[in-house]
Amino acid sequence: MAALVGAAACGPESSDRWDQPLQLVGPLETSAGLAYIEKTTARVYVLDADRKADTALLNISSAKIGNDPGVSAVSADGKTIYVVDRDREVLQLVDATDPSSIEEVELSGDFDRITVDPYGEYVVLSFTGASEENIVARNLNEIGVVSLKGTLGATFTTLSTRANSFSFVEPFSLSGQAQRLMVVLANNEVTVFDLLADNAEDRLREVPLTVSEADTIRVPTQVIFDTSNEGKLDLYLRTQDTDISRVTVRLAPDGATRKLLLSTDKLTVNSPAGMEIVTLSNGSTRLLAISAGTNTFTLVDTVSDVSVTLTLPMSRPAQYLLPFTTTVEEDGELKEEVRVIAYSRDSPLVAIIRPELIPIEGDEPTVGRSVYAIRLEGLPERIELSTAVPDQAIVFHPSSGFSLLNLEKNNDIPIQGGALKDVLFDGTFAYVVYRTLPNLTIFGSDGHPTNFELPLAGTSVHFDSESEVLIVPHVDRLGSFTVLDANDPRPETATVYENVFVNNFLGREN
């Protein structure tokens, strides 16, 4: 009979959207906690760690955002979450503290890449060119620059070449004039974008990387800025395994308002796989580059352009550079010295380079080993410097276990155990979660591990310094988290949160 009544009254059926799996983006680290964008239900979630007495807790807030959330990012200060609503073509600025507080900036398209100015003044939107369904027409060379200073608004510019990536130069001055520059890296071209220019003519300065469009495509992959020289900006540009160019930016000498002049020269570094700028104790700067084809590195004096190439004590060419600062005693005084770790995923030998001790033509010869090696127990997958313990780095191995590198004693402490998934340094301790093991390990400065239980293996570990609570997300379709007292991470003081992204499920809108 109920079926009869049911057949008699026909209402609209629910949308298929209820049946789609959740599509999560995150975690995004914000100043208010971990944030997630859930695209299927078009909601933003902010998980704020808290504690009540001895028990670690999670405050969960969420809000509806635009119907079709696309790409997202977090502001440099962590206070704002940027989300492109592809439905209405707007950039939404979500307050991480109060996700229901949303500002909007109208866009000229459904941009699919956000680049955030690390100095907090601009957000740049662009197209990656990745193929997607339901595209009617897009100008892939168009970018939008949102100014966060004063009145919120966006300006739109079409570049000569589609951007691969954007880099912001820190605020500096040229001949006393304040500058905010952005560098656009594109195939065969680099564009210096003057963000403070008040007219279109002076806004863009393009630097071609090839003589002819018919030449082999050159892809710039890394850019480093040197703003230490008054009156000019040096921009070091590495093209993938090809060469390093230097673009020098100066103000036009005619006193014109903001016109920039660019000049380019090439450094004598062949097939660089990576580069770093290091400043020596005497104030001079050197560019250090590793070769993609040989186990060598080159050190270039950025003033004289004189270089020296030395062999790395590694069996394979280095792939990555990791500069760090250590303290050394010299003539009874402590002073800081920049050193660089060079490593390859294919070599168990890690090289430590001391640029201070490498004389380039005309330098005084120095005493001491300028390059030396540390042998690891296994191949390194990646290396992270510890922010908790000076002169310490943690080495992730691809299969199992990990190593603590003591960069002062130049040895490695192998830690037998599970393969690392994530490590967090909180200033005092290192917190580690594993790929498959349901455990959390805390390492003290002496490298001693203390193991704790988790209900499930963690995917990452996050620290809330205000409440001194650790948040460990787990692999789970509906959102599963464990929050633990960072000082006493036992199950008795922890709380497990499950189905977090099902919260407010009855209130979701189709």
Partner 1 sequence: MKKCILIFGAALSLFSTEALAQELDFQLRLGSQIATDESFDALQDSNLLPYTTLQFGYAATEGSLQGLRLFLSYDSTTNAPNERLSGSLELDWTRYRFMVGGEYGIMLWNMFRPLAGVGVGYALGDMTVTADDVRSDFTHDVAAEAFAGLDFTIRIATFDSGHVLRFKAGTRIGYQLQTEARFDELESDASGWNRGTNDLGVLDTDGMFWNLGAGLSLAF
Cβ 488 to partner 1 shortest distance, Å: 14
Per 3-state DSSP, the chain is made up of helix, strand and coil in percentages (nearest 5) of: 5, 50, 45
Q: Would you say 140 or 496 has its CB closer to partner 1?
A: 496
Q: 53, 56, 31: which is closest to 469 by C-alpha?
A: 56
- Please identify, using beta-carbon distances, which residue of 39 and 138 lies nearer to partner 1: 39
Q: Which is nearer to partner 1, 19 or 331 (CB)?
A: 19
Is residue 90 within 8 Å of 71, Cβ to Cβ?
A: no
What are the C-alpha distances in Å from 449 to residues 67, 120, 432, 482?
46, 38, 10, 20
Shortest distance, CB of residue 496 to partner 1, whole angstroms?
Answer: 5
Alpha carbon separation from 206 to 159, 182, 186 (Å, rounded) = 9, 12, 10
Of the pair 15, 411, the CB lying nearest partner 1 is at 15
Cα atoms in the Cβ-side hemisphere of radius 13 Å centred on 331: 1
Please report, as a single letter, which amino acid is at residue 124: V
Nearer to partner 1, 7 or 211 (CB): 7
Instruction: Tell me the backbone φ, ψ of residue 174, rounded to 5 degrees.
Output: -115, 115
Minimum Å distance from CB 449 to partner 1?
22
- Which is closer to partner 1, CB of 381 or CB of 453? 453
Taking the C-alpha atoms of residue 392 and residue 371, their distance in angstroms, rounded to an integer, is 18
> DSSP per residue over 236-255, as a string?
EEEETTTEEEEEEEEE-TT-
What's the closest the beta carbon of residue 502 comes to partner 1, in angstroms?
A: 6
- H/E segment holding residue 2: helix 2-8
CA pair distance 5, 7, nearest whole angstrom: 5
Residues 156/142, Cβ–Cβ less than 8 Å: yes
Question: Smaller CB distance to partner 1: residue 345 or 477?
Answer: 477
Q: How far is the CB of 456 from partner 1 (least distance, A)?
A: 10
Backbone angles phi, psi at 344, to 5 degrees: -135, 145
In 3D space, the residue among 353, 344, 432, 421 whose CA is nearest the CA of residue 386 turns out to be: 432
Shortest Å distance, C-beta 104 to partner 1: 24
Interface residues toward partner 1, by CB under 8 A: 1-6, 8-9, 11-15, 18-22, 40, 55, 57-58, 455, 476-478, 480, 482, 491-492, 494-500, 502-510
**Shortest Cβ distance from residue 327 to partner 1 (Å)?**
43
- For residues 353 and 297, the answer to whether their CB atoms sit within 8 Å is yes
Given the complex with partner 1, which of 83 and 500 has the nearer CB atom? 500
Q: Would you say 9 or 214 has its CB closer to partner 1? A: 9
We find the least distance from the C-beta atom of residue 438 to partner 1, in angstroms, to be 11
Instruction: Give min distance, CB of 8 to partner 1, in A.
Output: 8
Identify which of residues 381 and 476 has a Cβ nearer to partner 1 in the complex: 476
Cα separation, 482 vs 478, in Å, equals: 14
Cα 118 to Cα 66, 75, 115, 132, 292: the distances in Å are 25, 8, 9, 29, 30
H or E stretch at 462: strand 462-464
Q: How far is the CB of 313 from partner 1 (least distance, A)?
A: 49
3-state SS assignment for residue 199: coil
